[in-house]
Structure 1
Amino acid sequence: MDNIAGQKSGLSIVVNITVVVLVLLWLLPTIGLFVSSFRDRDQISNSGWWQAPMAVDLNFRTRADTDDEREVNGSFVIEGNVFADPALASRFPDATGRVAAFGGRAVAPGEFTVGTTAELRSGALLTVMEDGSFRLEADESFGARGPLIYFEARTPPQFTLANYNTVLRADGMDRAFINTLTVTIPATVIPILIAAFAAYALAWMDFPGRGLLIAAVVGLLVVPLQLALVPLLSLHTSIGIGQSFLGIWLAHTGFGLPLAIYLLRNYMVGLPRDIIESAKVDGATDFQIFVRIILPLSFPALASFAIFQFLWTWNDLLVAKVFLPSGAASQVMTVKIADDLLGSRGGDWGILAGAAFVSLAVPLVVFFTMQRFLVRGLLAGSVK
């Protein structure tokens, strides 16, 4: 009685929970990257993205203003407030805050408890209160420059669009976006056109060696593209196309053709034979059958491969580094981010996260626009 048709399995809840957990684990890095793209650089360095809604303790420094120096009972005294420094106005716009600890050295900005009096290396005595007010006292004048005061203060969560503004206004990013489109669109269209013709021939045309060609296509699916990079670049150089847009179009075409032919051929084999035979009886040529019957019926498979090829080409870094010149005029977005933003701003995770999501914008639009064809094309092309 446990296997009655239509009875819901007791394992369905376990399966559903497992799927939800896997989806969350898959999405967590993306969510973290998205949150970090709106956070301040210092807050990213001092707390995790899951702590973004909470206040963060950050280290600051300010210099005592010697214009406020006065002599009291033979000692020289400077009094003020650490939050009144104009350089900290962006952090504390109302010139108020809460000091958690203070110090006189950059290596130990929080070595003293607020409210206590600490002796600095210069011999001066420093007292910092929780509201930011401080008092410096020394036997000799502080001179032209007052000592530095280091302190830890709690800052509210800050979200900003500055990271995206920096990325979008980066020198050459607009050119990199155009170059990425210039590479991706032909590198998606060309293999689809070639693979469609090849798939029809392997599916519906009888000729010697067809089985060997199908086996070769399947075998090429497991060949790592890294093995072909250097020989292919040498071939391109020898025939005069070298590192160029034409070279990278042909490289992406070659790397994408095995999967495209395999996917489309399996899909076309599953199409109704009666339609094709009826067309041949009516006098239609193979080209007419291909254009008027096969292509319209194969649109789900074409769209599913187009999604894969577009996403892979758009996000490609290795092939672009090998088959495109290294100058800024031909950089795609992945190379621009890796060489310029990652090289010059290696520790600025907010800008890198913003750059990642800027580069994701077009692939997301393409995927959600055509995703309804993805499952149909893949299942029809792989399951008989």
Structure 2
Amino acid sequence: MASLSLRLKRVGLPRLIVHLSVLVIVILWLIPTLGILVTSIRDKGQITTSGWWTAFSSSTQTSAGRLGDPSSARQEGANYVITGSVFEKGQGGTVSAFGVRVQEPAAFPVDKPADLGEGETLTVKPDGSYVYSKNAPFEGSRGKRIYLTVSTPPQFSLQNYETVLKGEGIGQAFINSLTVTIPATIIPILIAAFAAYALSWMSFPGRALIIAMVVGLIVVPLQMSLIPLLRLYNEVGNFLGTSSKTYAGIWLAHTAFGMPLAIYLLRNYIAGLPKEIIESARVDGASDFEIFLKIVLPLSFPALASFAIFQFLWVWNDLLVAIVFLGTGRDQLVLTGALNALLGSRGGNWEILTASAFVTILVPLAVFFGLQRYLVRGLLAGSVKGG
């Protein structure tokens, strides 16, 4: 107890609580992601019978089989015997029990003769082979149906991803999402960086009013501006004789929606840079453009990365703006739209839905983990420094 108390004092109780809280959040966030990944590479039959956390152990499921036709029986002494396998072609597994009623699929153990009545006995081996005998000729034209309790080893495959990317249109939607997201992330960063520098280090009339307007625009709901902006696009499109639903249109829409937050974050960060550096550069005869390009922009990389993460994730996961400004055609759908369509057409195919979902989150995960070290640094620096 004494050593534990000493460690708590050394680490600090508040800091320990923060670390534990972060660990809990990471675990809660990681578990569903891991579940989607594991489910996306499992066999369809195993997904419907067991949870993803049992994916690395054998799963037990009930299936139906049919014995051979009476015409295939052969006489051995006083008995008539039918032999074969309870598994159809392409099936397999280990039979642990069987039954002749769907309500009792585990009524009889394997490797032991089961008395089915009326002089019939059935012996089923773990590999699915069976011996079905009767002390009189078999009747009927079809083989007897039995029910099996089958244990199958874990089965993993990338077939689900191949189906999704080639047969469900996710591949085209993936390209569409990249086509929308990359320019819609770069364009507002470029414009906002110039604006943030001007609002931080250049004196001109109305600067304070512009800063106040930028802060006010952050709280304007996106949905409020969708209809007016779409009407403006349609009028411009009619004037030019072109369609308003183009990639250029959705780039400009996302740029407009992301600009206030981008200017706010970058302005707070750039305004907090050391004043001496800027003044020294001006004394040396550097213009504002040279100061921005050679000094401010390299020093502002953490803030740029912070906003890039926010904007990229927002645009990548967007559905509303993409439907309004790009359309709902099969060749126009982004990943979120394609996944939404699959929920209607493939709602029962978990292997297809989870593979599609993991393709959807794969790029945001890579972007976040690639830039996350700059995220907190950029946000905190912008929140505690001002100018």
Class of the TM-score when normalised by the shorter of the 2 chains: 0.7 to 0.9
Name the count of aligned residue pairs.
366
Find the aligned partners of 1:344 and 1:75 in 2 and give their Cα distance.
53
1:330 counterpart SS class: coil
Retained in 1: the 8 A contact 2:302–2:377?
yes
Closer, same or farther in 2 for the Cα pair 1:100/1:219, shift >3 Å?
farther
**Structure-1 residue corresponding to 2:54:** 51
Describe how 1:197-212 pairs up with structure 2 within 5 A: 197-212=194-209
Closer, same or farther in 2 for the Cα pair 1:82/1:262, shift >3 Å?
same
Retained in 2: the 8 A contact 1:57–1:153?
yes
Retained in 1: the 8 A contact 2:42–2:351?
yes
Retained in 2: the 8 A contact 1:198–1:261?
yes
Alignment partner of 1:192 is 2:192: no
Closer, same or farther in 2 for the Cα pair 1:135/1:187, shift >3 Å?
same
> How does the TM-score come out when normalised to structure 2?
0.82
Retained in 2: the 8 A contact 1:103–1:150?
yes
Instruction: Name the aligned partner's letter for residue 82 of structure 1.
Output: V
Describe how 1:47-86 pairs up with structure 2 within 5 A: 47-66=50-69, 67-69=71-73, 78-83=82-87, 85-86=88-89
1:265 counterpart SS class: helix
Closer, same or farther in 2 for the Cα pair 1:74/1:310, shift >3 Å?
same
Closer, same or farther in 2 for the Cα pair 1:226/1:370, shift >3 Å?
same
Find the aligned partners of 2:188 and 2:45 in 1 and give their Cα distance.
46
**260-269 or 228-237: bigger deviation:** 228-237
Deviation at 1:320, TM superposition (A): 1.7
Find the aligned partners of 1:292 and 1:245 in 2 and give their Cα distance.
32
Describe how 1:1-384 pairs up with structure 2 within 5 A: 7-10=10-13, 12-66=15-69, 67-69=71-73, 78-83=82-87, 85-88=88-91, 91-92=92-93, 97-105=94-102, 108=103, 110=105, 112-114=107-109, 116-117=114-115, 127=122, 129=124, 131=126, 132=128, 133=130, 135=132, 141-143=139-141, 145-170=142-167, 172-240=169-237, 241-339=243-341, 341-384=342-385
Find the aligned partners of 2:246 and 2:121 in 1 and give their Cα distance.
64
Find the aligned partners of 1:249 and 1:382 in 2 and give their Cα distance.
28
Unaligned runs of 5+ in 1: none
**Structure-1 residue corresponding to 2:240:** none
Closer, same or farther in 2 for the Cα pair 1:224/1:102, shift >3 Å?
farther
Retained in 1: the 8 A contact 2:65–2:146?
yes
Deviation at 1:236, TM superposition (A): 1.9
CA offset digits 1:31-66 (Å, max 9, x no partner): 111221221112111111111122111122223331
Deviation at 1:70, TM superposition (A): 5.2
The share of aligned pairs that are identical, in percent, is: 53
> How does the TM-score come out when normalised to structure 1?
0.82
Closer, same or farther in 2 for the Cα pair 1:130/1:278, shift >3 Å?
same
Deviation at 1:73, TM superposition (A): 11
Q: CA RMSD in A?
A: 3.2
Retained in 1: the 8 A contact 2:46–2:59?
yes
Find the aligned partners of 2:246 and 2:156 in 1 and give their Cα distance.
41
Instruction: Name the aligned partner's letter for residue 72 of structure 2.
Output: D
Closer, same or farther in 2 for the Cα pair 1:151/1:215, shift >3 Å?
same
Find the aligned partners of 1:71 and 1:7 in 2 and give their Cα distance.
85
Find the aligned partners of 2:208 and 2:119 in 1 and give their Cα distance.
89
Closer, same or farther in 2 for the Cα pair 1:261/1:51, shift >3 Å?
same
Unaligned runs of 5+ in 2: 238-242
Deviation at 1:136, TM superposition (A): 7.5
Closer, same or farther in 2 for the Cα pair 1:124/1:243, shift >3 Å?
farther
Retained in 2: the 8 A contact 1:103–1:109?
yes
Instruction: Name the aligned partner's letter for residue 261 of structure 1.
Output: I
Retained in 2: the 8 A contact 1:38–1:163?
yes
**183-192 or 11-20: bigger deviation:** 11-20
Deviation at 1:18, TM superposition (A): 3.4
Retained in 1: the 8 A contact 2:97–2:107?
no
Closer, same or farther in 2 for the Cα pair 1:174/1:21, shift >3 Å?
closer
Deviation at 1:135, TM superposition (A): 3.2
CA offset digits 1:158-184 (Å, max 9, x no partner): 222222222233354433232222111
Instruction: Name the aligned partner's letter for residue 46 of structure 1.
Output: T
**365-374 or 188-197: bigger deviation:** 365-374
Deviation at 1:192, TM superposition (A): 0.8
